[in-house]
Structure 1
């Protein structure tokens, strides 16, 4: 894909991320698990957004993330905008750390992502409790937070190997024609 113009690749990857999110939401909405007490799945939408935010921040602009997270809130019947705002804050902070995490190890990136995942989960529950909204049970929420944090390396591997979204090297040119 090196012969593709940077702006074309940029928009192709933004569309690919949007399609990935739509596929995740589609699979999440399918009635695959009809009995109660089944598996607790990680939040793949948040994981892919965090991984792409660290690896290629220009592929996931804030407006795109906000629109996709808000759509997820509406489709998954969560309080509209709350999870979207918290996830957007985490992704934007990870984008801000992307230069320092580019040279860091995967363990440092995992720790940063895990801290944001735990922070989002706690903030979400606290805000719901303060607003006197029904808070989901603590046990499954903690398990989902832990499973989500532990699944981050798998998502990074998929992002790197299959989707070819890699950390930029110092000589790479981004979508605006600027060297990173």
Structure 2
């Protein structure tokens, strides 16, 4: 029989994958919801970063890799490049999640912005080095700015809509005993 911890873990994985699938589905829909000059934010990165910073134990690296690779394939990006950048960014944040949890939100936001900048530059330089078609650097940074500006909204949705909040000291102690 499966214990409650395993059920809870599988439930979090299902919610995370549902968010990723819904995000990819909405990006593939031929909807025109906004202006043409403002790109959509990278919601998959935002969701991964919020979950990894709030509850790093909820999503393992293989689940992030699966989400990133599926997004690369379905959204017609370079296969694996976005997934690698997402893995590096989330693992960087995962290692700092306990330090960030004790800081104000502005510190978290700045750290996420720096990681997003790093992953964007990594992808741009990798595509440039491989002579793959890529936009000029200035155009590649516009979606980054939109993603950074909308990060607090994604964090609020995950925290208050889905209950993905930072663990209290009592919850951390209980999880350490399991």
What TM-score does the superposition give when structure 1 sets the normalisation length? 0.90
Give the 5 Å matches for 1:135-174.
Answer: 135-173=134-172
Q: Residue 90 of structure 1 aligns with which residue?
A: 89
Tell me the equivalent position of 1:67. 66
| Equivalent residues of 2:56, 2:97 under 8 A apart | yes
Note the residue ranges of structure 2 that are not aligned, 5 or more in a row.
none
Summarize the Cα distance change of 1:38–1:66 in structure 2 as closer, same or farther, 3 Å threshold: same
Find the residue that maps to 1:58 and give its secondary structure. coil
Alignment of 1:61-140 (within 5 A): 61-140=60-139
- TM (normalized to structure 2)? 0.91
CA contact (8 A) 2:85 2:119 kept: yes
- Structure 1: runs of 5+ lacking an equivalent: none
CA contact (8 A) 2:73 2:79 kept: yes
Q: In 2, Cα distance between the equivalents of 1:178 and 1:89? A: 25
Q: How many Å apart are 1:150 and its aligned residue?
A: 1.1
* Cα distance, 1:70 vs structure 2: 0.2
- 2:61 touches 2:87 (CA, 8 Å); kept in 1? yes
Return the alpha-carbon distance in structure 1 between the equivalents of residues 139 and 44 of structure 2: 18
If asked which structure has higher relative contact order (CA below 8 Å, sep 6+), I would say 1
RMSD: 2.3
Contact 1:73/1:80, CA 8 A, preserved across alignment: yes
